[in-house]
Structure 1
Amino acid sequence: MARTIDQQIAEAQARLNRLKTRAKATETRRKIIVGAIVTTEALKDPKIARWMAATLRKNATREVDQKELTGLLADLDAKAAEA
């Protein structure tokens, strides 16, 4: 039995939603990987630590995010002070 136009549209929309979900998951994984690498390097290099601490302070504007970053910012500040 042939599918109706409405069925075909619904299937295409479902397929599009699955692709959007997969794209979002890929983007999230990429952000996690980049964040981990940059954080690791910042904790080794005072110059990167200064940049990262300043960037985080400037861009993490939500109070909940600022609280989450407290320990990392302290570590970055300590590394930046070594220079």
Structure 2
Amino acid sequence: MARTIDQQIAEAQAKLNRLKTRQKASETRRKIIVGAIVTTEALKDPKIARWMAATLRRNATREVDQKEIEGLLAELDAKAQSAGAGEA
């Protein structure tokens, strides 16, 4: 039995929605991977720590986001300051 045009449209929309979901999941995984790598390196390198802390403070404007990264910012600040202590 042949599918109606409405059925074909519904199937195409369902496929498009599945593809959009896969794309969003892929983008989220990429962000997690990059974020983990940059954070790890920032906690090792004072220069990267300073940059990352400044970038986060400048771009995390929502209060809920700021609260979520408080601990990380403290770690980054400590790492950034450790370079100054080592140079003195």
Same fold (TM over 0.5): yes
Give the direction of change, closer, same or farther, for the CA distance of 1:81–1:16 in structure 2 (3 Å limit): farther
Question: What residue number does 2:86 align with?
Answer: 81
CA distance in 2, matches of 1:63, 1:81: 34
Identity %: 90
Size of the aligned set, in residue pairs, is 83
Gaps of 5+ in 1: none
Question: After TM superposition, where is structure 1 displaced by more than 3 Å over at least 4 residues in a row?
Answer: 80-83
CA displacement, residues 24-64 of structure 1 (integer Å, 9 cap, x when unaligned): 00000000000000000000000000000000000000000
CA distance in 2, matches of 1:63, 1:53: 16
- Contact 1:50–1:77 at 8 Å: present in 2 too? yes
Gaps of 5+ in 2: 80-84
Calculate the TM-score normalised by the size of structure 1.
Answer: 0.95
Give the direction of change, closer, same or farther, for the CA distance of 1:76–1:47 in structure 2 (3 Å limit): same
In angstroms, what is the RMSD of aligned CA positions? 1.9
Q: Secondary structure at the match of 1:3?
A: coil
CA distance in 2, matches of 1:39, 1:50: 12
**1:81 Cα deviation (Å)?**
8.5
Calculate the TM-score normalised by the size of structure 2.
Answer: 0.90
